[in-house]
C-alpha cells in the first residue's frame, strides 16, 4: 500500500470505511492487512456444509434390510419435512404414509439410536416462533427424525403427538428414550474412526448404539436387523452389495449425506467403552440426509470464475456426495467431468510429486479431508505462488487458518478458529466471501484513487510555484492561500473518495499480484499530466488577470515578467498593481475549482463519467458543494477575505475560472480511454506501506 505520511490518516480512513461496508455484508475483518490481500486472492478453499449449503440438515431417505430370505432385500422410506420442526411423515416405497412408523422394527431401533447416540438439543423458542438447535445440525436432524418416527402404541403415533404444545413436542420422543435408557459411557466422534458410540443400560440389559460414516460402520457389522419380523441374520455379501449400491445412489444421484446406524448387545454391568467394542455390530439402517445448497452460491461461484479466482470445495464428506452437490449447485458446469478435478485426501497423498503439482492446478473438489490436510493444501498452493483464502470453524482448523493468506472463520465456529482468522463470516455464507473479495478490490481501488487525487493535486501546486519562478512572474499564491487550498480541497473530497461504489467491472478482472506496484508507470504518467495541467491552469488564471481582464491593468507580458524592476524605471502604471489581491484570488479559485473537477475524475480509475456519474457518490458531491461554499465564504465575507488576502470575484472572473478548470475532465477522459484500450503501460515503480503488506510477505520479512 502506498505510504504518504502527511495523509496517512485519510488512507486509514478509506480502509476503515471499507471494513464497515464489509461488516454490513456479514464479513467482519479482524486484520487490516487482509483487506488488501483480499484483492490478490487467487484461490478460495471453501467448506461445503454450511458454506455452500444451508446446513439445515434433515433426514430425507431411509434404507433398511427388509428380509434376508424372500422378496426384495432392502426397503426404502422417504421422510417429509426439511426444517427442524418435528412435523413430517414417513412414507413407504409405494408412497403410502405410515400411520404408526414405530411398529416397524428397524425404524423403531433407528429412533432409539438417533435419540441416545446424540449430544444435541432440539427446543422451541416462543420468542422467534421456531424450533432451534443446540449442537451439530447432523445430530439435530436425527432428533427430528426420532420425533417423526414416534413411539409404539396408538397414543404415541406422530399425528397424536402433534396435539401437544410445541414446547412439549420438541423432544417428547427423545426424552422418552432417554428416560428408558441410562447412558453409561460415550465414545466421541473422531475423524479417524468417523463414528461415535454410546453404551446404554435398561433393565439389566446393556446396549451399544453406534452411528457414523457407512464405510466405517458397515465393515464392522456381522449381522443385520430385518424389518419384516425383527429378527437378526448374518450380513451376507449379497446384502453388503445391496447396501453399497443404495449408499452410492443416495450419495451420488440423490445428493444426500449418508450415515449408518448399528447396535450391539453388550455384557451385563459393563461400565466403560473402548474402541475394541466397536466391532461385531448389527446393522440397523442407512440414513440419507438432505442439506440444500444455498441459492446465491451459484452466482457467487460464477463471479469467482469471471474474476479469475479458482474455488476448491474442501469437505469431509465422501467423494460422491460432494461431486453431486457441486453438480446441483451448477457452478462447475464448465467441467465435463470430475475425473481429473476431484480427489480424496488419500488419493492425493498417494500421487507422485509431479502429478501432485498438476492435480493442484486443476483441483476443484477435495474430499474426506481432515484438518491436517487443509494446512497441507494451503502450503502446497502457496508454493505455486497462489494467494489462498481458507475457511474453517473447528479448533483443529486453526493451523490452516493461520497459515492461509486469508483465514476465514465461520460465525458459528469455535472461538479458537475465530482468533486464528483474518475475517469472520457472520452468516457462514460463501456468497459473503465473494462479496468481501469484491469489496476488498473496491477498497484497494478507492485507496488508489485517493492517492491519485493527492499526487495530482500536490503536483499541480508544485508546478504552479515552480513555473511562476521560472517565468519570473510574481508569486501566484500566498502561503495562507496555499494552506487553505490544502486543508479544504485535500481534506473533504479526499475523504469522500473512500465512499466510491464498486466499479461495474471490479469482478471481471484477474486478481492483481501481491507485489504489483500500486502506482504503475502509466498511472504515474497520468498523475503528471493532470498535475501539470492543474499547475498551468493556476498560472494561466494569474497571468490572464494582468494581461486580459477588464478589471486588470492589461499589461504587456514583458512588463509582467519585469515586475521586480518596476520601482527602478518609469512605467505607465503604478507598481502597486503587483500587490493587488485580485490575480492571486483568481489563481487560487482556479486551483480550488480544478481540483473539484479532478475529484470527479477519481470516481473511477478507468470508467468514464458517463458510466459512473457524479451522483453515484453523493458524499463526494456533498463535499464539493461544501468546499465551494467555504471558498465563497472567504471570498465574500470581509473579515475572512482580509485574513486570506483575497477579494470578491466578478461573474466575468468566474467564467474564466470555469473555462480554465473544466478541461481537466476532458484530459482525464482521454487518458481513461487509452487506459481501457491498452490497459496502460507498466514498469516497476512502487510505493508501499510496510504496515499493510500481505501476511505472507510480513512472514518472509
Active site residues: 47
Rg of the chain over all Cα atoms, to the nearest angstrom = 36
Scanning the structure block, which residue is given the C-alpha cell 470430475? 338
Distance CA 406, CA 423 (A): 7
Tell me 353's DSSP state.
H
Distance CA 356, CA 495 (A): 48
Q: Name the strand (E) or helix (H) holding 262.
A: strand 257-266
User: Which residues face 122 on adjacent strands?
Assistant: 133
CB 61 within 8 A of CB 256: yes
CB 307 within 8 A of CB 507: yes
Assign 266 to helix, strand or coil: strand
CB 444 within 8 A of CB 692: no
Distance CA 392, CA 377 (A): 13
Distance CA 86, CA 334 (A): 40
Distance CA 220, CA 202 (A): 24
CA-nearest of 513, 387, 514, 494 to 446 is 494
Distance CA 662, CA 674 (A): 20
Cα 588 vs. chain centroid, distance in angstroms? 45
Measured N-to-C along each axis, helices 137-149 and 172-180 cross at an angle, to the nearest 10 degrees, of 90
CB 287 within 8 A of CB 261: yes
3-state per-residue secondary structure call for 627-642: HHHHHHHHHHCHHHHH
Distance CA 262, CA 210 (A): 5
Distance CA 595, CA 534 (A): 7
B/e letters for 454-473, b = 16+ CB within 10 Å, e = fewer, are bbbbbbbbebbbebbeeeeb
CB 31 within 8 A of CB 114: no
Scanning the structure block, which residue is given the C-alpha cell 416397524? 104
Amino acid at each position: 500500500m502506498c505510504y504518504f505520511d502527511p495523509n496517512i490518516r485519510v488512507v486509514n480512513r478509506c480502509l476503515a470505511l471499507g471494513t464497515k461496508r464489509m461488516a454490513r455484508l456479514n464479513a467482519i475483518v479482524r486484520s487490516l492487512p487482509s483487506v488488501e490481500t483480499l484483492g490478490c486472492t487467487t484461490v478460495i478453499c471453501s467448506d461445503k456444509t454450511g458454506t455452500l449449503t444451508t446446513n439445515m440438515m434433515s433426514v430425507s431417505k431411509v434404507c433398511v434390510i427388509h428380509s434376508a430370505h424372500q422378496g426384495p432385500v432392502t426397503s426404502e422410506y422417504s421422510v417429509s419435512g426439511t426444517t427442524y420442526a418435528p412435523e413430517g411423515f414417513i412414507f413407504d416405497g409405494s408412497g403410502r404414509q405410515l400411520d404408526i412408523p414405530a411398529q416397524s422394527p428397524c425404524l423403531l431401533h433407528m429412533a432409539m439410536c438417533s435419540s441416545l447416540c446424540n449430544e444435541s438439543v432440539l427446543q422451541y423458542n416462543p420468542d422467534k416462533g421456531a424450533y432451534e438447535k443446540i449442537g451439530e445440525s447432523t445430530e439435530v436432524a436425527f432428533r427430528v427424525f426420532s420425533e417423526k418416527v414416534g413411539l409404539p402404541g396408538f397414543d404415541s403415533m406422530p399425528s397424536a403427538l402433534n396435539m401437544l404444545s410445541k414446547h412439549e413436542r420438541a423432544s417428547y420422543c427423545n426424552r422418552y428414550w432417554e428416560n428408558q435408557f441410562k447412558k453409561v459411557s460415550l465414545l466421541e466422534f473422531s475423524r479417524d474412526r468417523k463414528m461415535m458410540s454410546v453404551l446404554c443400560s435398561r433393565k439389566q440389559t446393556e446396549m451399544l448404539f453406534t452411528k457414523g460414516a457407512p464405510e466405517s460402520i458397515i465393515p464392522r457389522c456381522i449381522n443385520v436387523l430385518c424389518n419384516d419380523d425383527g429378527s437378526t441374520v448374518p450380513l451376507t455379501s449379497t446384502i453388503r452389495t445391496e447396501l453399497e449400491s443404495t449408499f452410492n445412489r443416495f450419495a451420488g444421484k440423490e445428493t444426500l449425506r449418508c450415515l449408518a446406524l448399528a447396535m450391539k448387545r453388550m455384557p451385563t454391568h459393563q461400565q466403560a467403552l473402548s474402541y475394541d467394542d466397536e466391532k461385531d455390530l448389527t446393522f440397523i439402517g442407512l440414513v440419507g440426509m438432505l442439506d440444500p445448497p444455498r441459492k446465491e452460491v451459484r452466482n457467487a461461484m460464477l463471479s469467482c470464475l469471471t474474476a479469475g479466482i479458482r474455488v476448491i470445495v474442501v469437505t469431509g464428506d465422501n467423494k460422491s456426495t460432494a461431486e453431486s452437490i457441486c453438480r446441483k449447485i451448477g457452478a462447475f458446469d464448465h467441467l465435463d467431468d470430475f475425473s481429473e478435478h476431484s480427489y480424496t485426501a488419500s488419493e492425493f497423498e498417494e500421487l507422485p510429486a509431479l502429478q501432485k503439482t498438476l492435480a493442484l492446478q486443476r483441483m476443484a473438489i477435495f474430499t474426506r479431508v481432515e484438518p491436517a490436510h487443509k494446512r497441507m493444501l494451503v502450503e502446497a498452493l502457496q508454493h505455486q505462488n497462489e494467494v489462498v483464502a481458507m475457511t474453517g470453524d473447528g479448533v483443529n482448523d486453526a493451523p490452516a487458518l493461520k497459515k492461509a493468506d486469508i483465514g476465514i472463520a465461520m460465525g458459528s465456529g469455535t472461538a479458537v478458529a475465530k482468533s486464528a482468522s483474518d475475517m469472520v463470516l457472520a452468516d457462514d455464507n460463501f456468497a459473503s466471501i465473494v462479496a468481501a473479495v469484491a469489496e476488498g478490490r473496491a477498497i484497494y481501488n478507492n485507496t488508489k484513487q485517493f492517492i491519485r487525487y493527492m499526487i495530482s493535486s500536490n503536483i499541480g501546486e508544485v508546478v504552479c510555484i515552480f513555473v511562476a519562478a521560472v517565468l519570473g512572474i510574481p508569486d501566484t499564491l500566498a502561503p495562507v492561500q496555499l494552506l487553505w487550498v490544502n486543508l479544504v480541497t485535500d481534506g473533504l473530497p479526499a475523504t469522500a473518495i473512500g465512499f466510491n461504489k464498486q466499479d461495474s467491472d471490479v469482478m471481471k478482472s484477474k486478481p492483481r499480484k501481491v507485489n504489483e506496484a500500486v502506482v504503475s508507470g502509466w498511472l504515474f504518467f497520468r498523475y503528471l499530466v493532470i498535475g501539470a495541467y492543474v499547475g498551468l491552469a493556476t498560472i494561466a488564471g494569474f497571468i490572464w488577470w494582468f494581461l486580459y481582464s477588464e478589471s486588470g491593468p492589461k499589461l504587456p507580458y514583458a512588463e509582467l515578467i519585469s515586475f521586480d524592476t518596476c520601482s527602478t524605471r518609469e512605467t505607465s502604471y503604478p507598481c502597486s498593481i503587483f500587490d493587488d489581491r485580485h490575480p492571486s484570488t483568481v489563481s487560487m479559485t482556479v486551483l480550488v475549482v480544478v481540483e473539484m473537477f479532478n475529484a470527479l475524475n477519481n470516481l473511477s480509475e478507468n470508467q468514464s463519467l458517463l458510466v459512473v456519474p457524479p451522483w453515484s457518490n453523493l458524499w463526494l458531491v456533498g463535499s464539493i458543494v461544501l468546499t465551494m461554499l467555504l471558498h465563497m465564504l472567504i471570498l465574500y465575507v470581509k473579515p475572512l477575505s482580509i485574513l486570506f488576502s483575497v477579494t470578491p470575484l466578478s461573474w466575468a472572473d468566474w467564467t474564466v475560472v470555469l473555462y480554465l478548470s473544466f478541461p481537466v475532465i476532458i484530459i482525464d477522459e482521454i487518458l481513461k480511454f487509452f487506459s481501457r484500450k491498452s490497459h496502460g503501460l507498466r514498469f516497476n515503480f512502487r510505493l508501499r506501506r510496510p504496515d499493510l503488506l500481505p501476511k505472507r510477505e510480513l512472514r518472509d520479512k
